[in-house]
Amino acid sequence: MKRLIINGLGLLLILYSLGQDVRMFWTAGSPFSTIMVMPFFLLDALQGSMLLLAKAPRIQGKQTVVPLLAAFLPLFSPLVLHRSAVSFPTVGVLFMVASVFLGLWGIMTLRTCFSILPEGRHLVQEGPYRYIRHPLYASYGLSYLGNLFFYPQSSYALFLLMAYGFQIWRAHMEDAVLAQLGEEVRIYQAQTGMLWPTFRRRR
């Protein structure tokens, strides 16, 4: 029941994101802006689809508060934003493009193992997971950096730092749950970076 409720909340969050994508699509001021919105819509749609199709986990963590905060806290970022005369949109766009394509690569590889709560199904080592254990959270970090270049404000930077702290906390929780799947997972975790490649030799 808990998992069903959390997944339902996750789907509501994704539907909200899809609504925002559609709004940006229709209000985009240029063809370039319109094209930029499309990958974000695809990413949100894929996440919603994979959450609906997610397999039942073999192992499920007991933590709920931190994963929910990690997922929903970014929704409140507009509360700390204010108008700024300075921004670096070109750099911001580069980070956002890198973010969305890493996210797409990650979710298309993870597929039905995608979840809101820390859960263990089976070890995924293909695609970006060959190099880092949490490419989706890495993509969130790139997105946060991109947004910060659009809105270079100290209050926003502190908010995003706190939000990403919860993402890293959630990643540690997922590692602990996945480690219970067996020795193969623990070896993979020892040889692979959490959010960026370690360039250690894989056996």
Domain boundaries, the chain: 2-191
pLDDT in tens, 7-56: 787 778 788 787 877 777 676 666 666 677 788 888 888 888 888 888 88
The vertex-70 CA angle with 67 and 74, nearest 5°, equals 150
**Whole-structure pTM value:** 0.89
3-state SS assignment for residue 84: coil
pLDDT in tens, 125-182: 999 999 999 999 999 999 999 999 988 989 999 999 999 999 999 999 999 999 999 9
Ordered alpha helix ranges (H), 111-200: 135-150, 154-178, 183-191
Contact 72, 13 (CB under 8 A): yes
The CATH number of 2-191 is: 1.20.120.1630
Ordered alpha helix ranges (H), 82-122: 89-110
Q: Mean pLDDT over residues 82-87, rounded?
A: 74
Please provide the size of the chain in residues. Answer: 203
